[in-house]
Chain A
Amino acid sequence: GNSVTQMEGPVTLSEEAFLTINCTYTATGYPSLFWYVQYPGEGLQLLLKATKADDKGSNKGFEATYRKETTSFHLEKGSVQVSDSAVYFCALSASGYSTLTFGKGTMLLVSP
């Protein structure tokens, strides 16, 4: 079956530090890959996506590249801000269905 594995959190960083959150996946066929973000007390928002191998998704300074050879979709940001503190979910959609399979989420805490 499909699955997504994310690094355990929390990830604690100082403002302006470099961020990497690792995500690897197992899926049949050619999945689409997503990063969603959940701010405290809110629903999930799409952060970025990639629908085929070697695509790079980017938004608000965050980037992730769809690597089929390593089945990975790592999230990166060059300089984090306190306002980036949230839970980040890697997810995939595959096998002709649009339902999302999520990783367990990684909490990011950024201090001033």
Chain B
Amino acid sequence: DTAVSQTPKYLVTQMGNDKSIKCEQNLGHDTMYWYKQDSKKFLKIMFSYNNKELIINETVPNRFSPKSPDKAHLNLHINSLELGDSAVYFCASSQEHSVSYEQYFGPGTRLTVT
């Protein structure tokens, strides 16, 4: 059983388009996250949700809009895509919003903007 799943795995699109990435976790966790990994493998937190409520927004452009319809899902919608948005986007979840809990990562979505 896949713990954290993301769709699609690959996404190739043109500048200016709008796209969405979906994430689902079947672990019963309360907290979910989106991370961005750039071409140099550097990982940075984008958003954190706890029980469907936005907790952390790390100065991400407002073209990025996360949505959590329920605790098991956290989707990421991106408007007006730019070249610099090309990256691998990882969804993750943890049992609670606490420093000591392990995060479980999805397989990633590789977004390429041309």
Residues of A within 8 A of B (CB): 31-32, 34, 36, 38, 42-46, 49, 51, 87, 89, 93-102, 104-105, 107
A102 touches B99 (CB 8 A): no
Could you jot down 19 A-B contacts, CB within 8 Å? A31-B99, A36-B105, A42-B107, A43-B90, A43-B108, A44-B43, A44-B105, A45-B105, A46-B104, A94-B99, A97-B55, A98-B98, A99-B48, A100-B45, A102-B42, A102-B44, A104-B40, A105-B41, A105-B42
Instruction: Give the docked Cα–Cα distance between A109 and B79 (Å).
Output: 38
Decide if B33 touches A99 in the complex (CB within 8 Å).
yes
Mark B83-114 against chain A: 1 for CB-CB distance below 8 A, else 0: 00000001010101111111111111000000
Given contacts A94-B99, A97-B97, A98-B48, list 6 more A-B pairs with CB under 8 A: A49-B100, A51-B100, A98-B94, A98-B101, A99-B56, A102-B42
List B residues at the A interface (Cβ < 8 Å).
4, 31, 33, 35, 40-45, 48, 55-56, 58, 90, 92, 94, 96-108
Shortest distance from the beta carbon of B112 to any chain A beta carbon, whole Å: 15
With A43-B90, A44-B90 known as contacts, the answer to whether A98 contacts B105 (CB < 8 A) is no
Given contacts A32-B100, A43-B90, A93-B100, contact A99 B105 (CB under 8 A): no
CB distance from A41 to the nearest CB of B (A): 8
Q: For A99, give the chain B residue with the smallest CB separation.
A: B45
- Rounded to whole Å, the gap between the CB of A27 and the closest CB of chain B is 10
Q: How far is the CB of A64 from chain B (nearest CB, A)?
A: 15
Residue from A46, A89, A96, A104 within 8 A of B99 (CB atoms): A96
B51 to chain A, nearest CB (A): 13
Query: Shortest beta-carbon distance, A85 to chain B, in Å?
Result: 14
